Amino acid sequence: MDSAFEAADLSTLLALEHDGADHFVAAAAAYPWGRVYGGLVVAQGLAAAARTVDEKYSVHSLHAYFIRGGSSEEKIRYEVDRIRDGRSFCTRRAVARQSSGAILNLSASFHVAEHEAADVQSVAFPEGTPDPDSLPAAPDTWSRVLENKPVRMESWGGRARNWIRVRETLGDDPTVHAAGLAYASDDVLIDAAARCHPKCPAPDDEGNHHHDVFMAASLDHAIWFHRPFRADQWLLHDVRAQGIRGGRGLSMAELFDREGRHTATVTQECLLREIRS
């Protein structure tokens, strides 16, 4: 593990300081690859946006663009715009900035709970997926905030399937759990995209070493929250790559709880460039 990696729990990372009207400052953290983890900036951006929303609204979706890599050497400032407040929906935009300029542009939409009778799930929990209690933890995990248990698959090309949860107990605030899911959601999407590349090495017992082959970075990220969940309990991230073109790979993840409920959907486009000697 890189010695610069900071041991920090999610609550510490989501602690926002007011810095003027609808402006907030949060701590960055160091990660083994040398720049701030994208899931952290998305989670903090969502938390900042939620600070400006009445508690009767719950987040139902977010869309984010990663603009440049963030530095772990300075705090991140989040500037929130109140785009619209409606009776059923409200919309916020949060821009994350450091001295280098904007590093993330995030839009989030919040919705008042509606008591409609229909609750239809057309996406099925993948058959044969083992329970997380029967699986070992990932051997090369980078995060002390998350627990990650990969599921072995017969066909690994363009696929990844992982049980992930936040290590600490998060309490009962749904917004904190949404931020926890957002933090975790950036973990394995690039893996799936890389695995459909013809030059990606097959994974071994130590995991998938595509970092030796590609320079990879998240470009944009979207989440739709469907049903209640707890980010401090196991959620299955079932990821499939949609393909690669022009150095960009697209992945989609369906998230399920242990009872098979479809809790969220995540999409991400990433940059994959071959490392040339």
Position 214 scores a pLDDT of 77
Residues 55-81 have a mean pLDDT of: 96
Position 39 scores a pLDDT of 95
The rounded mean pLDDT for the chain is 90
Which ranges of the chain would DSSP assign to H, the alpha helix? Answer: 10-13, 38-50, 174-184, 189-195
Question: pLDDT for 127-186, tens place per residue?
Answer: 999 999 999 988 767 788 999 999 988 767 789 999 999 999 999 999 999 999 999 999
Position 30 scores a pLDDT of 79
What percent of the chain has pLDDT above 90? 71
Inside any domain, residue 216:
yes
In three-state secondary structure terms, 254 is: strand
Position 231 scores a pLDDT of 98
Q: Model pTM?
A: 0.92
Inside any domain, residue 123:
no
Position 1 confidence tier, pLDDT thresholds 50, 70, 90: very low
Question: pLDDT for 182-241, tens place per residue?
Answer: 999 998 898 888 888 877 766 654 455 566 777 788 999 999 999 999 999 999 999 999
**Higher per-residue confidence, 35 vs 124:** 124
Distances (CA, A) of 137 to 7, 162, 215: 18, 10, 25
Inside any domain, residue 121:
no
Inside any domain, residue 122:
no
The Cα angle at residue 36 between residues 31 and 38, in degrees rounded to 5: 115
Domain count of the fold of the chain = 1
Q: Find the CATH number of the domain harbouring 166.
A: 2.40.160.210
The Cα angle at residue 189 between residues 52 and 187, in degrees rounded to 5: 65
Position 205 scores a pLDDT of 47
Position 275 scores a pLDDT of 80
Inside any domain, residue 118:
no
Position 153 scores a pLDDT of 80
DSSP class of residue 113 equals -
What percent of the chain has pLDDT above 70? 92
Inside any domain, residue 116:
no
Rounded to whole angstroms, the Cα distance separating 89 from 224 reads 14
Which candidate, 98, 58, 54, places its Cα nearest to that of 79? 98
pLDDT greater than 50 at residue 89: yes
Domain holding 196, by residue range, is 10-111+130-274
Position 2 scores a pLDDT of 37
Determine how β-strand 101-112 pairs with β-strand 57-66. antiparallel
Inside any domain, residue 1:
no
Position 64 scores a pLDDT of 98
Count of alpha carbons within 13 angstroms of residue 98, beta-carbon side: 19
Position 43 scores a pLDDT of 98
Provide CB contacts within 8 A for 55, sequence distance 6+: none
